[in-house]
Amino acid sequence: MHDALFLPIQLGAIDAKNRILMAPLTRGRSDPGMIPNAMIAEYYRQRSDAGLIISEATGITVEGSGWPAAPGAWSEAQRDGWKLTTEAVHQVGGKIVLQLWHMGRLVHPDFLGGEAPVSASATTAPDHAHTPTGRKPYEQSREATKADIARIVGDYAHAAQIAKDAGFDGVQLHGANGYLVDQFLRASSNLRTDEYGGSPENRTRFMREVLEGLIGVWGAERVSIRLSPNGETQGCDDPDPASVFGAAARVCEELRLGFVELRQPGPQGTFGRTDVPQQDALIRSLYTGPLVLNSDYTAAEADADVSSGRCDAVSFGRPYISNPDLATRIRLGADWAPNVNVPKTWYLPGPEGYIDYPALETA
């Protein structure tokens, strides 16, 4: 069933066996020191029927990491921990890229020894942060200096090298959902008056420099980006999203990225409003590489959008939590296991709600 989803596709240099991708999902199972472990490797091995797995968001430095037990990619121990995952996925014929993450102003000072987080400008995110000692209001960030920007661009490139040494098939830049790259892109969080602020082209400058750093390690054909061009997300918004995300799409085209993934919020979307115009058609008109859409898809909707040419592939997130063999279920027309919408098991340590969901043949 859904034949369009099972045509192979070239995502840059990555040869994907189908057009069903596993979207990045933060699960909070790392060991102390943000070190990936054997349980994480088993989790991704179970889900290797996807044409490509995009890993959970992975911190590039302590400065950019503000989620308890999320993994990192800056130390040798983290590199060696990730090798367990890449080897497990590759042994069963899967492909996986590492998503690189700097949370910017969404890092609470508790993670930084009391220091203020860094962002495009001195702003404060709404709502609360998850910290090791409970939920706390976000605090004001400090504006990144030119030296900070150069350093952070270098941190991304270092993390990309860690990913390469760990055996990944490529990297994805997390440019969505109100994190640091998104904070530079959107006018509500970027109040700068230098060459990194103001016009849409200036606000894409940081994104471009980071991507160029990743390309220097991997080559453009193994670098991708995730963007969320629709409405407010974690306090980041823009009065003219078509302008800034059109500029971002032009950067992706000029750099010849392997693929672009867009978060398209649906009725139950976690991030972003649903009452705003979708920007995928604009981005598709400006970026000629493979376009991947994400969020709240059914199999039939995904097949229709791939068949019509709206996108080239679809990434599924939460359905992959309770359906480790989601692509197989879609191919067979089998029922999906219910998505257990319990954040407790999404994020708490241990195998429960993580690697104990049965595959179809077991169920």
Indicate if 357 belongs to the active site.
no
Per DSSP, 128 falls in state E
Residues 189 and 122 sit within 8 Å (Cβ to Cβ): no
Q: HSE (CB half, 13 Å, CA atoms) of 28? A: 16
* Rounded distance between C-alpha atoms, residue 339 and residue 265, angstroms: 17
Say which residues have a Cβ less than 8 Å from residue 155's Cβ, sequence separation at least 6. 60, 61, 63, 64, 74, 102
Paired with 259 in beta bridges are 224
* 44, 156, 179, 196: the active-site residue: 179
Map 291-349 to HEC letters. Answer: EEEECCCCHHHHHHHHHHCCCCEEEECCHHHHCCCHHHHHHHCCCCCCCCCCHHHHHCC
Per-residue burial over 303-337, b if 16 or more Cβ lie within 10 Å, else e, is bebbeeeebbbbbbbbbbbbbbbbbbbbbeeeeeb
* Rounded distance between C-alpha atoms, residue 114 and residue 49, angstroms: 43
Indicate the pairing of strand 313-316 with strand 20-22. parallel
* Rounded distance between C-alpha atoms, residue 310 and residue 328, angstroms: 23
Q: HSE (CB half, 13 Å, CA atoms) of 269? A: 20
Return the sign of the alpha-carbon dihedral for residues 192, 193, 194, 195. Answer: positive
| Helix (H) / strand (E) containing 18 | none
> Which tokens is 179 given?
């994190």
Active site residues: 179
